[in-house]
Amino acid sequence: MGRLFGTDGVRGLANGDLTPELALSVAVAAARVLVESDTSHQPLAIVGRDPRASGEMLEAAVVAGLTSAGANVVRVGVLPTPAVAYLVAQTNADLGVMLSASHNPMPDNGIKLFAAGGTKLPDELEARIEQAVEDGHGVIGRPIGGAIGRVNDLLDGAEHYIKHLVAATPNRLEGIKVVVDCANGAASEVGPIAYEEAGAEVIAIHADPDGLNINEECGSTHMEKVRDRVLAEGADLGIAHDGDADRCLAVTASGDIVDGDQIMAILALAMRDAGTLTNDTLVATVMSNLGLKIAMKQSGIKMIEAKVGDRYVLEELNAGGLALGGEQSGHIVMPEFATTGDGVLTGLHLMAQLAGSGKSLADLAAVVHKLPQVLINVRVGDREAGAAAPTVQAAVALAEDELGETGRVLLRPSGTEPLVRVMVEAGTEEQARSVAERIAAEVNSASPA
């Protein structure tokens, strides 16, 4: 069996490579591995999902797997990923399972796992679960009779989560008019309600999930829809979430996109001024634009670069007891309020800065002057071989010499798809694109799809 876990759980084509049988096996293995060190009580698992039609099928398989391993299960239904993490912590559950493929198209789905406390799994635990799945862990020695797990439903999980979000908002949002693109996903109910209860005037779009329309030409991967509506409504800003609502991107009143790097800068400066930015340090990833690093340095804020993936951001945050981190893609983590990236929480804190400062989003985001950045996703036969090929590495070295200190190259195999991501920053977009295309051609030659 190949690598089961990517950068954000197990992901694949639902009922294709991500089958109910695999979901059941992962659930059994996770239950055994995550609680095997504590046999003093019957384990409890929280299970949630986004609105994808395949989530119903996979939820049934996961619940069967968990209960067959002796875990009691509480189903929380359709909720954002960070809501599931929050409820794991609040209920003192031993593990959590979120069924979602985030921003991926509807036919895909995924299994995200949370340990006790609502934290994402470290690599070591994922490796043990993978091994347990491969070994058929749990086929023998399963509980019988009264030791089999039971299933209950939590009907007011959304209500508890919304109350938590509003309480975590720094100040009221009166006077803010916002268009919210819910991606026909997990934020379709809780996002607009949370923003309204915090005081904003909310116009919700793509908030009618039918199981088939999640991420369909909407949400954080299709920003043109929220941009157009912001302009039409004369709104102060737009907010766009992805399918499971752990991301937040924004649009200014004039229609310019504000990405995760700019959002992090806005929040970092606000937290520094409030004295809540621990050690005046921000955690970002290697994908963040050099412009963020320059802006933070000029503002006296240190920036730590983590590997791509919000769990790696979290590792750095936890290791240093830090207060803010995130990714250019819009995963923003504030450990005081959440154990993982939370798009709605981010939207609330971003709007709180507009309401509290009286400044526009464009003015706040102007602190970051982004270098032109070009990202090319190269579909390959073998993503590891495509990235590591000597001809590819030689092309990267040549590009780095050409760019010097005025840009950079980042070559990264995707954690979830058969892609090699080629990212180049340079002084001009023309130079960035030229260099990126040159490297991408070498990747394609080294490992054609």
Cβ neighbours of residue 97 closer than 8 Å, sequence gap 6 or more = 27, 30, 45, 46, 47, 48, 62, 66, 84, 111, 112, 113, 114
Question: Which residues, listed in sequence order, are joined to residue 74 by a DSSP beta bridge?
Answer: 46, 152
Mean pLDDT, residues 18-37: 89
pLDDT more than 90, % of the chain: 81
Q: Is 219 left (phi over 0), alpha (psi -120 to 50) or beta?
A: left
Return all residues near 151 (Cβ < 8 A) that are at least 6 apart.
63, 67, 72, 73, 74, 75
Helix, strand, coil percentages for the chain (3-state, nearest 5): 40, 20, 35
What average pLDDT does this structure show over 140-157? 91
Cross-strand pairs, 257:
251
Span 146-162, average pLDDT:
96
Q: What is the model's pLDDT at position 257?
A: 97
Rounded to whole angstroms, the Cα distance separating 254 from 265 reads 20
Taking phi over 0 as left and psi of -120 to 50 as alpha, with beta for the rest, 358 belongs to left
Reported confidence tier of residue 137, pLDDT bands at 50, 70, 90: low
Mean pLDDT of 178-193: 98
d(CA 424, CA 305): 17
Which domains occur in the chain, in start order?
A: 10-155 (3.40.120.10), 160-365 (3.40.120.10), 373-446 (3.30.310.50)
- DSSP labels for 157-222? HHHHHHHHHHHT-SS--TT-EEEEE-TTTTTTTHHHHHHHHTT-EEEEES----SS-TTTT-GGG-
Q: What is the pLDDT of residue 187?
A: 97
**pTM score, two decimals?**
0.89
- Please state the φ and ψ torsions of residue 63, each to the nearest 5 degrees: -60, -40
Q: Is 54 one of the catalytic residues?
A: no
* Cβ neighbours, 10 Å, residue 383: 21
Residues 39-97 pLDDT 10s:
678 899 999 999 999 999 999 999 999 999 999 999 999 999 999 999 999 999 999 99
| pLDDT confidence of residue 38 | 62
**Stretch 275-289: mean pLDDT:** 95
pLDDT at position 37: 56
Q: What is the mean pLDDT of the chain?
A: 93
pLDDT band with cut points at 50, 70 and 90 for residue 1: very low
List phi, psi (to 5°) of 107.
Answer: -60, -20
The answer to whether 147 and 67 have CB atoms below 8 angstroms apart is no
Structure tokens at 327: 């990714």
What integer pLDDT is reported at residue 121 of this predicted model?
82
Which SS3 state, helix, strand or coil, does residue 293 take? helix
Ligand-binding annotation for 246, yes or no, is yes
At 147, phi and psi to the nearest 5? Answer: -85, -10
The pLDDT assigned to 152 comes to 98
Q: Is the pLDDT of residue 167 over 70?
A: yes
Residue 332 clears pLDDT 80, i.e. is over it: yes
* Mean per-residue pLDDT, 365-372: 94
Q: Which of 54, 102, 220, 414 is catalytic?
A: 102
Report the distance separating Cα 324 and Cα 265, nearest Å: 10
Amino acid making up residue 31:
A
Q: Is 102 annotated as a binding residue?
A: yes
Between residues 286 and 157, the one the model is more confident about: 157
Residue 376's CB is within 10 A of a number of other CB atoms, namely 18
The residue type of 64 is A
- pLDDT by residue (tens digit) across 403-424? 987 789 999 888 778 999 999 9
117-131, 139-153, 215-229 — most confident range: 215-229
The pLDDT-based confidence of 2 (bands split at 50, 70, 90) is low
Handedness of CA 8, 207, 182, 159 (dihedral sign): negative
